[in-house]
A and B are shown apart, each in its own frame.
Chain A
Amino acid sequence: EIVMTQSPATLSVSPGERVTLSCRASQSVSSNLAWYQQKPGQAPRLLIYGASSRATGFPARFSGSGSGTEFTLTISSLQSEDFAVYYCQQYESWPLTFGGGTTVEIK
């Protein structure tokens, strides 16, 4: 099983700041990596797929990068609506696995 590790667990950020979230895989997942955003009481939403392709509906301030075992989600200038939990998921091999999530909270 591929273990996905996200860091940090919690990030306290002020609006307008640049944010970088990390996701590490225990073995290579190539570019088969997705990111999801989940707000309280809501279902998750696809944010990034293929490690760097942005899903419909998300603005350009969100970007994903990386391949192999190291991945990054960057929010260039955090807006109030971006405070949420972010999860990475690998779909390179079975079982599919998620990271534990990073909570982005207001500082």
Chain B
Amino acid sequence: EVQLVESGGGLIQPGGSLRLSCAASGFTFSSFAMSWVRQAPGRGLEWVSSIRAPGDKSYYADSVKGRFTLSKDNSKNTLYLQMNFLRAEDTAVYYCAKANSGFYVDYWGLGALVTVSS
């Protein structure tokens, strides 16, 4: 059974940093691309970032480019999202997502809430 468990969310002040982690199990982590998708309170889904299976290339939404860094540790079956210079508009539930061929999401984590507020 595929499981994706996010951790690291919480309340952070504007301008601060936070690192989200996603522990993956139930599939061969090194063989699949991964993504983060976020959802602001009462809003729709927004793609944040994706990383190729080997972890050698990442892609970012313009809204987070230069502030967020996505990495993948295939030896630990863990995905990381380093978020710097956080803004109020980054407040959202962040979902860890397993990508299938073509980067659609076939499995989702339960989400981690990030609240950016003073």
Q: Which residues of A contact B (CB under 8 A)?
A: 32, 34, 36, 38, 43-46, 49-50, 55, 87, 89, 91, 94-101
Contacts and interface: CB of A to CB of B under 8 A. Distances in A.
Contacts of B35: 96
A91 B99 CA distance: 11
Which among B45, B104, B105 has the highest number of chain A CB atoms within 10 Å?
A: B104
A87 B45 CA distance: 8
Interface residues of A, dominant DSSP: loop
B104 A100 contact: no
B111 A43 contact: yes
Q: Categorize the interface residue count of chain B.
A: 20 to 34
Interface residues of B, dominant DSSP: strand
A46 B106 contact: yes
Given A38-B45, A49-B102, 18 more contacts: A34-B105, A36-B105, A43-B108, A44-B95, A46-B105, A46-B106, A46-B107, A49-B106, A50-B102, A89-B47, A89-B104, A95-B60, A95-B61, A96-B35, A96-B103, A98-B37, A98-B45, A98-B47
A101 B40 CA distance: 14
Interface string B47-91: 100100000000111100000000000000000000000000000
